Structure 1
């Protein structure tokens, strides 16, 4: 049995050596040493991840040159980025200019977007003096690297360094990988969420609670990491009661983390409700946007259209393949190599939100599902056991196709990725 296979059989409570606030060192010097050690361990994976993303961006830049369009306009000035920049420049409650790009949702439609990313753009721009669109792109690119580092750290603790490296590489070339380099909330949210999961795995409960709190105020799907942190704490205590844990979990810190984690998500939803003068104001705003939870009916309709409509687009086909593949990979991940409970709950929640949401957003499901990076574990485990030539023949062409598809999303597809 290989090392990778042995690590793949670790149960849901992963044995760890040094938590984020561990006892091996004390003070800032000890934290700095652990951060540096983690970064050095992940350096190869991060270099590969950045190189693959740079390939995709290079293809997009060449395409932009041929179309006489600035790459910054594509990555930081379209679709959702318009709302983030408006909120950053004018505050959360300033209505969109007339005519509004979301007139059908009302003058305060921007409140459907959560506040952490635009406010981070706002204050970073004030401090640095840089234009807000530059800051938006810089923060997104930095967050994407931090997210990749977190993906490596989480996967490394479960399956080992080699599987973690392939998970990082695969994440850089998923169909919606272009969004990792756009002024969207996905990079920042994932950076927060993945390190919150790592904190749970290393028993740093308060850190996990704070990260989940910020992630919950970053985008609507922040409820996934909130649920993961809270339910993972409950799971730890239940496992101890059932004599499956030798050491009693730190109940006080778990309770504190469980109280802190939901405050960001519920706080913003409550604020929007207060602003509109009704408790369900945020959900009513989402309904006006066309975003509702229908249990997956809209997803099934979208899948049906892939096979029944003559003018099916490339994006429609790729989104449908992503949806089906995600379900299959989740079953494989659950049955064969189930990750720690916090990772499993997070993945299940992201899938539930992505596939259960209805309205006009079928084509965005590929982007929503991208956040469920643990779905890549079965592929990464297979690549970790494969020969180098096989890996190159799989990853190389996939990277090229991913880069070309990113160009298609930017210059051929008519809507938001």
Structure 2
């Protein structure tokens, strides 16, 4: 006689399928736990360092530099301007709206003030970004590479910015998930996330370019036209960036309104001439400082060359190339360039793939060392010049 299962008792999946599903969750969870551990170490060192100096780690994370501007937008929306002694004007229209909108929304439904809401958004966004980085690294080079990529991004020297009420974490999360969607053929998601990235930072144009060029290359390779979902994704991708820039142009009464506002902040694209001059001044004044800047630029370029030699997917190469190009070839406050490079996570893929080939003990030792150095540097940097 054949036994019949009790129809009122749900069956529990067993066998290889259940094991695969469990592994599919455990591996990203391990990457997120490792990422969170590195960032927690950074915050702990920042708290200790700040207490020793008599400064407030909370203030450093939520109420300095650009975070103050985001808070003003969140609390009163746009319209705030500062007139400088030389007659120049700094307008809050330079700051894209998604982060302050999320700050305002979270503050209205929770006990959090807008600055703390911005920090919480960044913390949650950084975890979302680490998840997407893990999936990207694992897809291209295996589980260990994905794990290493998430940890490496947490442990970059300016990784403390990921924990601040800044827009880098939110932008990187949206960009990374948009690129993941391209890699997996989810074009509507890719376009939607690219549009949101375009509402977050000016460099959202890099995500739009990556989505469009990856799609065009796929269509050319397969010699076909875009399907309905791809076409919709391509139409959605630039909507956020063009929507905000167009709104600023309408509000200022000038097609170049956003560029004009950025110019008032001293920002703009000059092909790297101003940055080259800045490096030259350091070479003439402090040779060590100038050589350090040259070494940093050379390292970034070398990492991108490694990405090309690694044959990364076109979406990643285009995205990283545009982010690096805009960061290195824009004028403005040059101390912000390391922060501007933070979203360029594909630059870390060659190192992640290399670490994945090491023994687990050696890779763990290297990553732990980087985490400690990053924590110390971040605490020192944030208590000093910090990210403008």
What TM-score, normalized to structure 2?
Answer: 0.89
Structure 2 partner of 1:188? 170
Matched, 1:70 2:68: no
2:89 paired residue number:
106
Among 116, 120, 137, the residue aligned to 2:119: 137
**Structure 1 counterpart of 2:203, from 210, 214, 221:** 221
Q: CA deviation at 1:62?
A: 0.4
Which of 297, 320, 329 pairs up with 1:323? 297
| 1:364-383 CA-partner distances (Å, limit 9, x unpaired) | 11111121111111111221
- 1:43 matched to 2:26? The reply is no
Q: Residue 238 of structure 2 aligns with which residue?
A: 262
| Distance in structure 1 (CA, Å) of the matches to 2:221 and 2:144 | 30
Alignment of 1:120-199 (within 5 A): 120-199=102-181
Equivalent residue number for residue 248 of structure 2: 272
1:58 to 44, 56, 60: 44
CA 80–317 in structure 1, closer or farther in 2 if over 3 Å, else same: farther
The range that moved more, 36-45 or 342-351, is 36-45
SS in 1 for 2:130: helix
Partner of 2:369: 397
Shift of 1:101: 8.0
Q: Which residue of 2 aligns with 1:287?
A: 263
Give the total of aligned pairs. Answer: 369
Cα separation, 2, equivalents of 1:352 and 1:332:
16
**1:312 Cα deviation (Å)?**
6.5
Shift in Å, 1:103? 8.4
* 1:20 alignment partner in structure 2: none
Q: Does 1:340 align with 2:313?
A: yes
Q: 2:335 aligns with which of 354, 363, 375?
A: 363
How many angstroms apart in 2 are the aligned matches of 1:37 and 1:388?
Answer: 19
* Closer/same/farther in 2, CA of residues 372 and 38 from structure 1, 3 Å limit: farther
1:408 paired with 2:384, answer: no
The DSSP-based 3-state class of the residue aligned with 1:155 is: helix
Match of 1:352 in 2: 325
| Cα-to-partner distance string for 1:347-394 (whole Å, 9 max, x where unaligned) | 111111111111x32111111112111111111122111234432443
2-structure distance, mates of 1:49, 1:260: 31
Gaps of 5+ in 2: 1-19
1:387 corresponds to which of 345, 356, 359? 359
Superposed CA RMSD: 2.3
1:251 deviation in Å?
2.4
Aligned equivalents of 2:184, 2:56: Cα separation in 1? 43
Deviation of the 1:152 alpha carbon: 0.6
**Residue in 2 aligned with 1:16?**
none
What is the SS of the residue equivalent to 1:89?
helix
Q: Secondary structure at the match of 1:339?
A: coil
1:299·1:355 contact (CA, 8 Å) conserved in 2? Answer: yes
C-alpha spacing 1:176/1:130, structure 2 compared with 1 (3 Å): same
Give distance in 1, aligned partners of 2:75 and 2:40: 29
Instruction: Mark the runs of 5 or more structure 1 residues left unpaired by the alignment.
Output: 1-33, 242-247
Cα 1:101–1:377, aligned 2, differ >3 Å: closer, same or farther? farther
2:122–2:167 contact (8 Å) kept in structure 1: yes
- Residues 99-133 of structure 1 deviation map (CA, whole Å, 9 limit, x = unaligned): 668986526x1100000000111111112242112
Distance in 2, matches of 1:181 and 1:190, equals 13
Look at both structures and tell me which one has the larger radius of gyration over its CA atoms: 2
Question: What secondary structure does 1:370 align onto?
Answer: coil
Q: 2:21, 2:199 → 1: CA distance? A: 25
CA contact (8 A) 2:49 2:380 kept: no
Alpha-carbon distance in structure 2 between the residues aligned to 1:123 and 1:35: 35
Q: Given the superposition, is the C-alpha separation of residues 39 and 159 from structure 1 closer, same or farther in structure 2, using an over 3 Å criterion?
A: same
Query: TM-score, normalised to structure 1's length?
Result: 0.83
Q: Contact (CA 8 Å) 2:155, 2:370: kept in 1 or not?
A: yes
Q: Residue 397 of structure 1: CA displacement?
A: 2.6
- Counterpart contact for 2:116–2:165, Cα < 8 Å: no
